[in-house]
Structure 1
Amino acid sequence: EVPVRVFTEREANYLAVMPVKEKPDMSKFLLCPMPGLIVSLAVEEGQDVSAGETLCVIEAMKMENVLKSEVDGTVAKIHAEPGDSLNVDAVILEFD
């Protein structure tokens, strides 16, 4: 299997001059994976966290989802607080 994209000559000419948009580096942020309400935060700004440590709990669809750290690091800034309603990909906290 090979993915194939077929263009007209005009589309191919436009594609050749289109800039490639690079995705921003979001590895230093904890993003909300689903729309929900922050129930609790288990960390504070300046706190060192290790991989697997609980960062916060989000309630979505009457279920509580525990978000854990994927990396070791330090919490630089908290952008949300308990009681906040967040959308998908909203920033919850930021790491150093």
Structure 2
Amino acid sequence: MGRGDLTSEQWARLEPLLPVGKKPERPPIRSKRQLINGIRWRARTGAPWRDVPARYGEWETFTGSFGAGSAPSGVGSSPSCRPRPTRRA
């Protein structure tokens, strides 16, 4: 367990709140706990997805979970989230 990873107590509180997989007969390659710890690592460090340590899974696992970008699908794509162009006087 790395610094900043969920403790067993935190995980016990969080796990029941997570959705069940679409194919329960096929177990996932990485645990949800690893995935969440990887997401937390990236949010804490601000590093690119490609720099997430291997102990959390391959970086493609995270981008596959969140769509093609570095944020969950739809986040940052609305016009109100885009920077406004500067106006010239």
Instruction: Mark yes or no: TM-score above 0.5.
Output: no
Which one scores higher on RCO, CA 8 angstroms, separation ≥ 6?
A: 1
TM-score (norm 2): 0.20
Of Structure 1 and Structure 2, the greater strand share is in 1
Of Structure 1 and Structure 2, the greater helix share is in 2
Choose 1 or 2 for highest CA Rg: 1
